[in-house]
Amino acid sequence: MTGKRRILIVGGGTAGWLTAAYLARALGSAVDIVLLESPDIATVGVGEGTFPTIRETLRFLGIDEAAFVREAGATFKQGVRFRDWLQAPADDHRHSYFHPFEPPFAGDGANLIPHWLAQDAGARPSFAEAVTIQNRVADAGRAPKQAGEGDFEGPLNYAYHFDAVRMAAVLADRARELGVVHVAGRVLDVVLDGGGSIARLDTEAGALTADLFIDCTGFRAELIGRALGSPIHSVADQLFTDRALTCKLPYDRADAPIESATIATAHAAGWIWDIGLAGARGIGCVYSSRHMDDDNAAAVLADYLGPRAEDVSPRLLRFQAGWRERQWIGNCVAVGLAGGFLEPLESTGVVLIEAAAGMIAELFPHHGPVDLPAGRFNDLMTARYARIVDFLKLHYCLSRRSEPFWRDNADPASIPASLKALLDQWRYRPPSRFDFAREVESFAFFNYQYILYGMEFRTDLPDGRGDAAEAERQFARIRSFGDRASRDLPSHRALVEQMSRAA
Ligand code: FAD
């Protein structure tokens, strides 16, 4: 019998603490886990939106939902409301569509999509409104569940918005409870052995060794980047945004309604996120520095904020869309921003952390060479990033806006070949579950359907598929369920306040 393996996680942002708690929970006392973080290097501190996978993660970690809502300042997210992505706003018209987390209604085996496609495009309700009640519930300012429902459960699918700094603290508390040892100190030097692996870290807290080093040092990528030299595979020629100006805006009144969807409003060279947190709105102007300079982005943000722009001082964050070509090298694996980042759209940062932590836990070799899973891990993470690029690009490339940023996004040369191939097929049939391989996919076929049809993409199907009268009955049921749910579910603010009090 050899001794227990030791895992050293470097970095105390969302990536570090989520990975620490996850591995401690999954691997239990079979490993020793230490997390080192520098108190002097701030975390990125944004990352307010999530995807419904987070519920399964929090449940797995054994976190209480009401306590989480209170301590992370969390609110409920039912999807993303996109404004002005198809067309720039005109005096008489503003285009908007919803990407709900709830799949299209498929009760009684109904497939409503062909019937929605067959309806008159000028007269039918939007796709999301026709096939799910979530559009209406979110628009009515209602929550996706009642307070008494079980932890992480409800009639409608949901994720959260939260304060990223407070979220890291919640995860840190749980990780410590699960046995993770926390060490404060900065990495001063990464000492390599002769074979390209890490021999030890020289830190302010002394020399530290481990069997596996997990780099969660954010964009600094101290281990995987600076020490091991894994280059970044850039996809900046496909996803153009590379900067964000972020701020927090307090609500006008203490009882102001809280949106339970991210509002994503397009502008001339990117988009603005607007997130309803418990105590304030989190707002960020995302843009491409190739298409807009910082002063103009500040003006776009100020215009969005209106007269209250004077009360905030936005913070500038730079990023580039891409990922490390090899995220696991020898005895080092990167998780979070150290491994890669695409852009804030659709909140894939935490999704990628969850995927990486889950894979490390399941592939972890308790004996033998620690780099045995490296090849598989790198292949799966690379494929996952590439699949997300397709999904994000879909939001941009169907736009009919005329500004250079949007024209460049619609240029076929900027569209990945894999997405082009799917779009060719989707002209003749809707996105299907057979389009995607689950192990590497963060989004399901219906997420693609919501974006595609929200952006008014045309799929030509022959008439005469299925029972049209039955489909009409189903559409009517969805409308009446939607009316009832919008009356019966509590307001979003009421649920957040009630759960915060209950904890
Ligand atoms: P960081 O938060 O940067 O943490 C790095 C840690 O490493 C810190 O604790 C630091 O002290 C430590 N460290 C660094 N160097 C050293 C050293 N030498 N020695 C010791 N410790 C060190 N994700 C989402 O899911 N949803 C979103 O809506 C979203 N929006 C985003 C918007 C923007 C503009 C950006 C840039 C990112 C966004 N993300 C989002 C991504 C999300 O912020 C990150 O995935 C998440 O915060 C994880 O960051 P991290 O832990 O990898 O890095």
Q: What is the pLDDT of residues 300-350, one digit of tens each?
A: 999 999 999 998 999 999 999 999 999 999 999 999 999 999 999 999 999
Q: Specify the CATH number for the domain of residue 201.
A: 3.50.50.60
Question: Residue with the nearest Cα to atom 6 of ligand 1?
Answer: 11
Best residue for ligand 1 mutational test, from 38, 162, 285 (most atoms within 8 Å of Cβ): 38
pLDDT digits (tens, 9 = 90+) for 81-107: 999 999 999 988 899 999 999 999 987
Provide mean pLDDT across the span 260-285. Answer: 96
For ligand 1, what atom is nearest to the CA of residue 16?
51
Which of the residues 4, 77, 248, 393 is marked catalytic? 77
Residue 181 has a pLDDT of 98
Contact between 7 and 34 (Cβ < 8 Å): yes
Is 367 among the domain residues? Answer: yes
Is 194 among the domain residues? Answer: yes
Residue 106 has a pLDDT of 82
Instruction: Report CA(42)–ligand 1 centroid distance (Å).
Output: 9
Known catalytic residue at 77: yes
Is 23 among the domain residues? Answer: yes
pTM for the complete prediction? 0.97
DSSP strand pairing (79-83 vs 262-267)? parallel
Ligand 1 pocket residue status of 282, Cβ below 6 Å: no
Residue 466 has a pLDDT of 77
Task: Return d(Cα 69, Cα 65) in angstroms, integer.
Answer: 6
Task: Return d(Cα 271, Cα 284) in angstroms, integer.
Answer: 8
Tell me how many domains the chain contains.
Answer: 1
Is 363 among the domain residues? Answer: yes
Ligand 1 pocket residue status of 11, Cβ below 6 Å: yes
Mean residue pLDDT across the chain? 95
The residue type of 435 is D
Is 11 among the domain residues? Answer: yes
Is 107 among the domain residues? Answer: no
221 Rama class: left (phi>0) / alpha (psi -120 to 50) / beta: left
Is 39 among the domain residues? Answer: yes
Instruction: Report CA(387)–ligand 1 centroid distance (Å).
Output: 22
Provide mean pLDDT across the span 380-393. Answer: 98
31 is in which domain, residue-wise? 5-74+161-235+321-386
Task: Return d(Cα 66, Cα 60) in angstroms, integer.
Answer: 15
Contacting residues for 49 by C-beta, under 8 A, at least 6 apart? 77, 159, 161, 262, 273, 275, 344, 347
Instruction: Report CA(341)–ligand 1 centroid distance (Å).
Output: 10
Is 473 among the domain residues? Answer: no
For ligand 1, what atom is nearest to the CA of residue 41?
11
